[in-house]
Amino acid sequence: MLNNEDRFWASLLAGSHPGWSLSMSDAWGDHGSAPAHLSANIYAYDTSTGWQCSCAIAPGDLLTAAEIMDSSQTRRNAAVGHAHYELVRAADGKASAGDDAARRAMALIMYYIAQSDALKFVRRRYGSLQGHWLCLVYRFRQGQSMIRPAFRSTFVGERTLPPHLLSQWAADVRLEDHNAEDSGLLRQLRAGNELLLKQLRAPG
């Protein structure tokens, strides 16, 4: 359950990143890619609706976000809980007039990634946070949701992934989770929680 303190910290995290360059995809113009120095590409994809959103930041800013998360369990709780809430809200189109729901959701996703084991693994393996970060949103018929982070290094290219490649990546990750021995998705399915799923193009 999200308490008032978590809501306070989530609002603070989403609204305050002084000097940072969190750039949303709708500002990138015809070329469809973030400026070169914003080389940590972040994506959200909702498997139940096909909704997707992209932003980009400097890898150093993602590292700063990780340091902020490391300093406070309260902030980690706020980022984890409200990233779910804001992503579902943005994907469902529940924002009020003038409410920049997508930008708020992506700011919180940045912090969600920053506190994740995925980020720690990437730092150990690659020594850099440059690349492509996906937060896949799984939603279940009983109302629960979960976020599954994934990473691809720049071997797939440095430019921001276009929508069709992002959809394919989402399909690949979902198939990987479905076939994994003990993934979070498989645990939910074994417990009888039915996944709400938009038909995705099969890998291959």
Helices and strands per DSSP (H, E), number in the chain: 7, 6
pLDDT for 44-97, tens place per residue? 999 998 999 999 999 998 998 899 889 889 888 888 888 888 888 888 887 665
The separation between CA 29 and the C-alpha centre of its own chain, rounded to angstroms, equals 22
The separation between CA 108 and the C-alpha centre of its own chain, rounded to angstroms, equals 8
Q: Give the confidence band of 202 by pLDDT, cuts at 50, 70, 90.
A: very low
Query: Residue 146: beta bridge partners?
Result: 138
Between CA 143 and CA 145 the distance in angstroms is 7
Spell out the long-range contacts of 80-86 with Cβ–Cβ below 8 A and sequence spacing 24 or more. 80/112, 80/115, 81/2, 81/6, 81/10, 82/2, 82/6, 82/7, 82/10, 82/14, 82/108, 83/108, 83/109, 83/111, 83/112, 83/135, 83/147, 84/137, 84/145, 84/146, 84/147, 85/2, 86/10, 86/14
Q: What's the pLDDT score for residue 99?
A: 66
pLDDT for 147-193, tens place per residue? 999 999 866 667 889 999 999 999 999 999 988 888 999 888 888 88
Helix (H) / strand (E) element for 197: namely none
pTM of the full structure? 0.86
